[in-house]
Amino acid sequence: IESGEWVVEHKLRTVGALWASGIVGSMAYNWSQPNMKTSVKIIHARLHAQALTLAALAGAAIVEYYDHKTGAKAERVAKFLDLNEHRQRE
């Protein structure tokens, strides 16, 4: 399986992992700034989380659009249904 295929098959895992790593990175960066008040750090972390969430949703939409446009999703569903049908016959 190619890495591109893995990403297409595991869209939510990929988007979730990127989102979570972005949030952790943002929090680590904010907390490393000694001259900021805690309230400002929290506000910045929240703003970064919102931006990362929007970016993750946009990324998932782009992958879904590409998947739909190329017909890869229909092929995977057809394969899955074929496998299911084959297993039921046995």
Q: Find tokens 């016959």 and name the residue.
A: 89
**62: containing domain:** 3-89
Output the CA angle 36-37-38, nearest 5 degrees.
Answer: 115
The number of domains in the chain is: 1
Q: In terms of Cα–Cα distance, which of 67, 63, 65, 87 is closest to 77?
A: 67
Q: Looking at residues 2-7, what average pLDDT do you find?
A: 71
Can you give the pLDDT at residue 87?
58
Mean pLDDT (the chain) is 78
User: CA 42, CA 12: separation in Å to the nearest integer?
Assistant: 26
The pTM of the whole model exceeds 0.75:
no
